[in-house]
Structure 1
């Protein structure tokens, strides 16, 4: 690690936008500028303003070679951005030139009912539009499609399935009539399929037919990602010319390849919308809402499974959807990314890049930017795709807090790597503007804040979007046009910002923060499940999205150590030290082996929290009541909790406060202060960032005292000499201040006794009754006393070892949640009396005993339960009280 001088993999990288072929002088001057700004690596990206026919041409390749030579002289590294503009795979249209069979192919579906008189039933697909390309305006349409619009050829029938109109209660009512279906009309805008009425009637008198058809988009420059031959052709026409011209620079100066959002277009058609608007369909969820990439390999042996994509098919709906999307994801991921990975390994370079991510710009994996159904793009199986990468990369849009870096780091660690690249771009949010008009108003301060958050959440390197060759249009009539005018192509071009003269300081701080964190390991803490099979079964409309978003954002903002995991990690055993597992709306799981692993985790002392729908369905066989009963037993047990809705933050706090965390120095949570912890050979590293406009105080608590603390200054690269620390440390963080410290045990250090979280064993005396087994994380009105206003007396007992009192004579009582006033006694002696918060106090010397101690807390509610119950706040104890060693606090 080089904290003072960050290396190429931690200092920021950038896209270098080429709007035309640069001159030799421009190459030298811009590489000098790029390096002087603190970038240590870059990727050349030909933008839409670059004449497409010149991409990978003689002049382009010569300039590319010259760039690699100049980069090598300056000690810069390069990555190959593998596409013209973006949507990796088409090589500027070269992949499909002369190879029409490789053009993107899609599957559509439509339904029709049998008419009177025995006439054949006809199902049509027409008025097909490219949902995502529509957003790219005319320049984008002409880039993606020859002639600017999709034209369809080679129509075929994939399946024709007769079934009852409306609800299907049993899959046996579905009849495969594919062999009797006929294409009766085809054209560039759609097709019509005819099915004999008597074939449809085999599904009953009140029946209809759903037909699945597929076609090749003859005008599209995008490829069929399900065909390994398409990826192989992409390598031949896109990668190999660069490999030849780079020569010995490949694997030395040029160290990796980067793919960007490979996907077939996401198409809509008239019958899709009509079907979704049908009265009998409005209550259904989980059906596919865009076309699917198509190759024969995705069609299941039982073609009836396809019907589950367009409607419910009875109790097997979720299992059928999971089976299809598992097959679909495997086919696309292996065919495209597996083929690219093999080429990279053979040529001594790493593979990186990112697919279309449902969670860009959000905490919610169902919050999409490009398509309204992300399952159509490699099945949302982010963990499976990442196994082909050597360096994980993700996309981040704009500068607000979001999930990207945490998800990327979790993917990397699931495959034995650390950190991720975060491609940072900006889109306009101004009313009336196009998103590609970007953010010329971006300040360096806003960019820095976003970058610091990315690092604290797991980013190893920022990949900036972008450094520009020029801001002048290169194409005729390009001026003033979104995309073809560089000024309207996702600005800012950072080197055209007046604040670029300050960029080096930002870049060095980013690299140093990354070096500081990446040298150590994140604490395992909490595992948050990415519920893939629920995504497959329920689609983006399933509530798992909002539950996942709540937990991810809550944990990140609270500075709690967590990773996102998949079912495979649960089944193979979560990382040692994982103390809690969270299931966010995980309604469908793979099979009972997952449930077995969850039970093993809880039996070993782990905590299980869940919100939203609980697991009730299995992909591979019916779980039924047995699965439901097992889940209920876990979440209602002493180590479990379940919230049907998104939990209140205070209740999540209360539950997680009781979860024992890894033994490492901690920082108290302060709203607006982002915190992360890493450990390295007995050392705890903490990075804290004040993301507010006010001065904030954050108390850092060592696990041993005396301790030694070292300050690491990411602004200068200097580290302080270790200084003794004999008490807790309160840092005063000014607005936008970033503080990095490491804490180790000092000479003669002793472990600070662990905090007692008093969450069990309580009794409550209230309204003349005495209750046992009271939950101190919920008010008494939710435990059978909704109309009681007055005083409730809570009592519990806890033990302290004599040696703990001997070494640590001063302790404190903390009541994190009280509604609304309280007084407390320990062993019969009053220690606190509060009309309002904060509810904490030091415990006087001699009040505690080595052995059993009794704590009594009398809580006075408001009068609302009696006089205005609809306006009342929770009453009584609302969070588990804490008894912990009191560490003196100082200000720094």
Structure 2
């Protein structure tokens, strides 16, 4: 771990806003400024003031390449921000240029009643609700000429039904074959259905779809749209960056890909916006679509879940799956975030951009994350919110941890506009928000943003950089103090990373409730209560997915499980999993609505009965409304048993986590007066070490025989490490310097954090021998057992210490136990022989290796650490692409 000098994955990153193509001198000067401020990575992002015709042009790409050259020489990391402005997918309009079939398509619904011989339904006065907020610059960016125009209208379904309540699905008749499109044009359409075809029903709801002929946005439901985006958007970057791709340029970042959110005059539907459309999202039984417009009887919840499960899977796989494959093939990680309903809030049903977040990939945040390598989320303004916790939770569900938090600021003053931003932001406010993000699960802050220019006089929005999501941090007078903030942020991240959670409490994310009930359902308010209370109280918790619950990854791991307004689940097996959780000793807590419907059967009396029985048991509690914090705390006590306890007086945020030696705890006084904290170790005596993120100093440990009482000044951040007993655990050795590599007959110095193929041996396949020496004191050798860990090896290895073989591995994990008798006081010698694949020998110079050389050798610093019982399976960072996990 690099606590004193945080690495590129922990120190803050930033967007680098380009409002035009910078000169070579400006690039070098700004890179120096960026690095001096403590940023260690960045993404170039072109804004609305940037001439659209220059985006991805030869001069722009040459400037990007120059920035990558400069980043490499300064030890900085780059990510590719994959779009002009935002809404990833359109490549500044290039994706759909000449490919009209890839433009976004939307589905609308409208209801009519028969008058005379026909029932007629219309869709007109369509407006893009989200784009309206972007004013004329946004309209001209999204739509050619700034005008919404439609074509290629088609009838998706026509469904006859009673005009009043629908008792069952048997009251719905599919009359699509009788519907006729009698008028269509740039502004809408009309559909006619013969009254005699309605089979006696008193109303008909028609679903129609059309292509937005003027939109530069794509149809995210089509894999070919994503493939075209890669061709015109990603490939130019890959060619421009060359050898930097996969090294200095480490990842690609997508930002809020979504079709526009359209409203129309006749919308009277359960779903509060248009839906992205492709034939693949239409169910075999088209009657299911009627549930998107209104209640359809007992099957309402089931039909809505069926539709949104299909809808989200099609979109997620078509777009994100396609991008993920390209990134894997090119040796870069995929990151980015979708439109998130919970930005700026604790409520996952809040609505920042659209009134119905289900229309954007179905709110299936856990399912989408399986295509990412680095989880990223959005956060707005300087108040506490759920973003980092949600990001860390979905990452852990998918086998990773931590997240990247994009932090931006929007104006909230009456009479202004959100894009004018917050030039009033203080460095203290930014620091406070960043600390909270880290304590809730953020690995890295992505700042919005570092600017090329601060614009000009005048108050026009977006096109004047001055009022395009201010502030530009490098134009703030306090920017000279930024480096201290950046270093503290990185050190706090390093301190908290590579720990494992206490797994005290799980909060079930109500995905199917979202699908079936929409954002007006109280699940959002209940989720907000539980997550904010648990976070402020310092409980270790995560949001979890129903798939995790059903797969048995919750029972036996978490001590308490919260159902926040969950009213719809997949089927009986979910209830079985809840019962298994309580039978295994877990505490089940629920508030608001409880499961009464399933995706399998819709309204389900049996599930309702089973849930009532379960929640009346001795290890469960249900509150019909949102409970008070005082009401829930006694029921959470069991989840804390056996863990280090923290009693906070007032607004103190905390995070506790385990490492191989004990417990790490970070405390932050988010108040304007002193606060007192009591820490109660699980076992006494205890040894306490203070880590200082403000300076990078790790102080000498001291022993305690009781609780630890701390007084925190306003804004104080304190990091502590507690271990059991009075003994001193030797410090681990990270062997990151002094390596020699023998390839063939020559021995040369080598960097151990990147493979030999990047250091002059790109055509070599075979065995390379690494050699290094390290020093141990006699006191350190009093520790009985040590462990050698090789975090990243390409591809097999064997090791010896002082001439004695200690490990031989064909595959990961590459670690072994070492008896202290193998080691000696003073100088020790470590040799590691690594065998690569044959690719670099056989593919070199042929058409079969178009990409970079195959990774070979060691790609992360080996470490020697004292082994503690029960922690031999501690996960190592650096697996796969060398990313933090």
On whether the aligned pair clears a TM of 0.5, the verdict is yes
Structure 1 residues 788-821: Cα deviation after superposition (integer angstroms, max 9, x where no partner): xxxxxxxxxxxxxxxxxxxxxxxxxxxxxxxxxx
CA–CA distance in 2 between the matches of 1:78 and 1:423?
15
Structure 1 residue 490: deviation in Å?
A: 0.1
Structure 1 residues 292-319: Cα deviation after superposition (integer angstroms, max 9, x where no partner): 0000000000000000000000000000
Q: Tell me which residue corresponds to 2:14.
A: 14
User: Are 2:291 and 1:308 aligned?
Assistant: yes
CA–CA distance in 1 between the matches of 2:670 and 2:602?
48
* Equivalent residue for 1:365, pick from 327, 348, 351: 348
* Equivalent residue for 2:696, pick from 712, 717, 723: 717
* Equivalent residue for 1:158, pick from 156, 159, 165: 156
User: Are 2:68 and 1:68 aligned?
Assistant: yes
User: Are 2:460 and 1:481 aligned?
Assistant: yes
1:592–1:623 CA contact under 8 A, matched in 2:
no
Structure 1 residue 627: deviation in Å?
A: 1.2
CA–CA distance in 1 between the matches of 2:5 and 2:494?
9
Structural mapping, 1:690-709, within 5 Å: 690-709=669-688
CA–CA distance in 2 between the matches of 1:590 and 1:102?
34
1:175–1:203 CA contact under 8 A, matched in 2:
no
Q: Tell me which residue corresponds to 1:534.
A: 513
Q: Tell me which residue corresponds to 1:597.
A: 577
CA–CA distance in 2 between the matches of 1:479 and 1:253?
38
Structure 1 residue 688: deviation in Å?
A: 0.4
CA–CA distance in 1 between the matches of 2:643 and 2:33?
42
Q: Tell me which residue corresponds to 2:241.
A: 246
Structure 1 residues 150-195: Cα deviation after superposition (integer angstroms, max 9, x where no partner): 1000000000001001110111110111000000000101000000
Structural mapping, 1:85-484, within 5 Å: 85-115=85-115, 118-200=116-198, 202-204=199-201, 207-272=202-267, 275=268, 287-472=270-455, 479-484=458-463
CA–CA distance in 2 between the matches of 1:623 and 1:524?
33
2:20–2:49 CA contact under 8 A, matched in 1:
yes
Structure 1 residue 622: deviation in Å?
A: 5.0
1:558–1:670 CA contact under 8 A, matched in 2:
no
User: Are 2:566 and 1:586 aligned?
Assistant: yes
Aligned-residue RMSD, C-alpha: 1.1
Structure 1 residue 702: deviation in Å?
A: 0.5
The secondary structure found in structure 1 opposite 2:355 is coil
Q: Tell me which residue corresponds to 2:828.
A: none
Structure 1 residues 80-112: Cα deviation after superposition (integer angstroms, max 9, x where no partner): 000000000000000000000000000000001
User: Are 2:716 and 1:737 aligned?
Assistant: yes
CA–CA distance in 1 between the matches of 2:658 and 2:624?
36
Structure 1 residue 662: deviation in Å?
A: 5.6
Structure 1 residues 228-271: Cα deviation after superposition (integer angstroms, max 9, x where no partner): 00000000000001101111000011000000000000000000
**Structure 2: unaligned runs, 5 residues or longer:** 729-885
Structure 1 residue 519: deviation in Å?
A: 2.3
The secondary structure found in structure 1 opposite 2:698 is coil
1:437–1:491 CA contact under 8 A, matched in 2:
yes
Structure 1 residues 361-387: Cα deviation after superposition (integer angstroms, max 9, x where no partner): 000001110000000000000000000
Structure 1 residue 484: deviation in Å?
A: 0.4
CA–CA distance in 2 between the matches of 1:603 and 1:489?
55
1:173–1:203 CA contact under 8 A, matched in 2:
no
Over 3 Å off, 4+ runs: 574-577
Larger of the two Rg values belongs to structure: 1
Structure 1 residue 479: deviation in Å?
A: 4.7
| Equivalences, count | 727
The secondary structure found in structure 2 opposite 1:194 is strand
CA–CA distance in 1 between the matches of 2:454 and 2:428?
23
**Structure 1: unaligned runs, 5 residues or longer:** 277-286, 750-892
The secondary structure found in structure 1 opposite 2:145 is coil
Q: Tell me which residue corresponds to 2:616.
A: 636
CA–CA distance in 2 between the matches of 1:295 and 1:185?
21
CA–CA distance in 2 between the matches of 1:170 and 1:86?
44
CA–CA distance in 2 between the matches of 1:250 and 1:20?
23
1:113–1:209 CA contact under 8 A, matched in 2:
yes
CA–CA distance in 2 between the matches of 1:748 and 1:78?
43
2:436–2:653 CA contact under 8 A, matched in 1:
yes
1:525–1:662 CA contact under 8 A, matched in 2:
no
CA–CA distance in 2 between the matches of 1:203 and 1:174?
11
Structure 1 residue 123: deviation in Å?
A: 0.3
